[in-house]
Structures are given as structure tokens and as C-alpha cells.
Amino acid sequence: MQIFGQHDEKTLIQFESVRANAVDAALMADGHVGYVMPIGGVASYRDRISVVGVGFDIACGNAAIRTDLTFGSLGDDGEARQRTLSALADEISETVSFGVGRKNRADDAPTDHALFEEEAWEAVPATHREALRAKARSQLGTVGSGNHYVDVFVDETDALWVGVHFGSRGLGHSIASGFLALGEGEAWGTQVREREVLLDLAAPLGHDYWQAMSLAGRYAYAGREWVARKVVRLMGGREMELVHNHHNFAWIEEHAGESVVVIRKGATPAFPGQLGFVGGSMGDDAVIVRGTQVIDAESPVAELQRAALYSTVHGAGRVMSRTAAAGTRRRKPGRPSFRGAISEGMMQAWVREKGVVLRGGGVDESPHVYRRLPAVLEAQGGTIDILHTLRPLIAVMAGAREFDPYKD
């Protein structure tokens, strides 16, 4: 068991509960409370899988594309660059759909993708299958809301990058909810309490969940790559490099000489040499990382990598809940409304000082509610190398009042 960084008591209690049923477990430095399993948690199991461990946003992840464009292509002076960035931010927000459904100009999402005809759909009960497939088609290539985004960055070499963060949308949420109900002995579609349900992969229910989860993973990859490439085309650039990872998923891997199921919930795979894209916040740098390649298998770094189950952070990690940040205006008996800790002015001042062109975004996603990414990365103890630091130029997110039941 390995814990990176410092965490509050609730997060540690969640982690200890998960660890008790796992072969091994680790908690990344960006960890915070989640549903049953903490965000930033990693756990391995023998031939079993936890539905809430993988989570409701199955295959949420990050993709980043390095383009052939440079910072200089944005304009010859500060005012020209600002006009270019503002126009590009508007075009992204008017072309790519955020929230639920495809609402903006982009109508060329790959809704005829081969994944819609895969046998894995048979894992969904027949009475729900076609409705779920139709929902998935309508949402492919939509970004969602909450902490999901489309960003444009510049790195230390002046190369421009496009980065995106979102998952399998309603498809993943329906799969997670459906199999959680089935695992608790209820019918698909029944709302049940979130608790740890471990499914045996050798049993029909565990087998079917694995097939459906894997399908959601392929769906998320297709959606992220389409959105990122769409934005590269809007910029008039070409793709030079793609870095792409899930961070809410399960894999069959070998650890300590044993084949196990490894669940990473808000954690990025980071085997030696493996690339990853880790975001900060709407007003902070992101990074391209690589699992450290060590010569001595018995070195302290190699031991830490094994203890981390070859994983690292997926972001900076929240330090404030959405409600604490934004407050609430809902009046319920015994629960009066209250003002949140973060104002719109505070958020705008932060991104303005950083020179970021922001479209959308609510105060519950302000940089104030996150840790600082450099400190989180340092706490991972040398298990990753930072290859590129990406300074945000544009951040496009759903608006604060955009309804989306699958936002995280």
C-alpha cells in the first residue's frame, strides 16, 4: 500500500475501506473523496472488478495533440494574438457541443463508427439496448460539463497543443448504474445505493460488465480523438503527436508476478516510458508526463513505481467541493441557501492574470478549488518525468448553468 501526498480524513477512510478488499492499493497525491472509492485511488483484485471503483464516468480521460502550429502563428503582437485567440475560443464554443446532446455546428461526429455494431452491445439487456445505443450515438463527440473541457496550450518550445478531458457520457453512466443495480439483485434501471459491488469476471454478470466497460472505453477514445482533431482543424493545423489515456477504467495487468485486475479511478497509467497528459485547472499549466525509465530495478524510484501500481495523478485534485465553492440557492426545509466561497470576479481575475481566454466555466471549477499541479507532481516521488509544460491560452467549458447529469 502506498499513499502519496497529504489527504483529509474522509479520503483516507474511503481508501482504507477499498484497500481492505483489494490485493494491493495506492492513493495518488491528487486524491479526494469520491463515490465509495476515492478519486486518485488505484486498487488491484484477483479476477474481480468493482463497478463503483471504475465509477459512473467510465473511461473518463485526457487526450492531447501537439500541432504543427507555433505561438508565433497567432499574430505578430499581443493585440493581434488576443484577437486570434478570442475568435478561436468563440469558434470552438460555437462548434463543439457541451452539456447533453449535439447542439452546435459540428455535425460530422462519427455516429456510424464500427463500435456501434460490436457484439459487446449484447452485454446490455435487450429491453434497454437500442435506447442506449441511440443515446450513445447522439452524445458521441459531446464534451459534457463540470470539469470537462477543450483547451489550447503552448509549450516551452512554442508549439501549440489541443487538450480535451471527458469520458463515455451517458453510455458509461447507464452501464455503471445498470450493472450496479444488477449486482445488488435489482433490475437494470433501478436506482440503488452506491456501495462496493465486486463482480467475478468468470461469472456471466462480471463477464458482461467487462464487455460493456470495454465498449465504453472505445467509445470515449473515439469521442475525445474526434473533438481534439476537430479543434486542430479549426485552428488550421496538423496533428504531429497524440497522447491519450483513460483515468477511470480497469485493466488486466501483471504486478508482483501475478495477473490482476487494476482499477484506476482518477489515476493515470504510468508504466516506464508510457506517456500521459495531466491537466491542472482552467487557469493553471498542464503537463505531458512519462513514466520514469529506471536502470536499477531495486532503486527507490522503481520501488515507488511498483507501490503505485505504475500509476500517477490525473489532475491537480480538488480541495473544495462544488457546493462549498458555488454555494446554493435552493431552499429546503432545514437547509437554507448560502453564498459560496468563490465569486465570479475571483475566478475571472485569476484567468485574466494568467492570460487565459475563458468561455463558459462555473465558479465550482475555478482554479481556487484545486491544488497546484507542481506540488502534486512533486509528491509522486520521481515516478514520472515531465516532458512538456503546457501553458493554457484558451479554456472552453460548459456554462455554469448547463444541465448535464453525466458531468463527472
As given in the structure block, the three cell numbers for residue 384 are: 514520472
pLDDT at 68: 98
As given in the structure block, the three cell numbers for residue 87 are: 475568435
pLDDT at 403: 65
| 8 A C-beta contact, residue 280 and residue 373 | yes
Q: Specify the CATH number of the domain 2-330+337-396.
A: 3.90.1860.10
pLDDT at 157: 97
Q: How far apart are CA 203 and CA 215, in angstroms?
A: 19
As given in the structure block, the three cell numbers for residue 42 are: 488505484
CB atoms within 10 A of CB 37: 26
CB atoms within 10 A of CB 105: 11
pLDDT at 218: 98
pLDDT at 406: 67
Q: What are phi and psi of 57, to 5 degrees?
A: -95, 70
> Dmax of the chain from CA atoms?
64
As given in the structure block, the three cell numbers for residue 389 are: 509544460
Per-residue pLDDT of the chain (408 residues; tens, 9 = 90+): 899 999 999 999 999 999 999 999 999 999 999 989 999 999 999 999 999 999 999 999 999 999 999 999 999 888 999 999 999 999 999 999 987 777 888 889 999 999 999 999 999 999 999 999 999 999 999 998 889 999 999 999 999 999 999 999 999 999 999 999 999 999 999 999 998 999 999 999 999 999 999 999 999 999 999 999 999 999 999 999 999 999 999 999 999 999 999 999 999 999 999 999 999 999 899 999 999 999 998 999 999 999 999 999 999 999 888 888 888 766 556 666 678 889 999 999 999 999 999 999 989 999 999 999 999 999 999 999 999 999 999 999 998 767 666 666
| 8 A C-beta contact, residue 378 and residue 340 | no
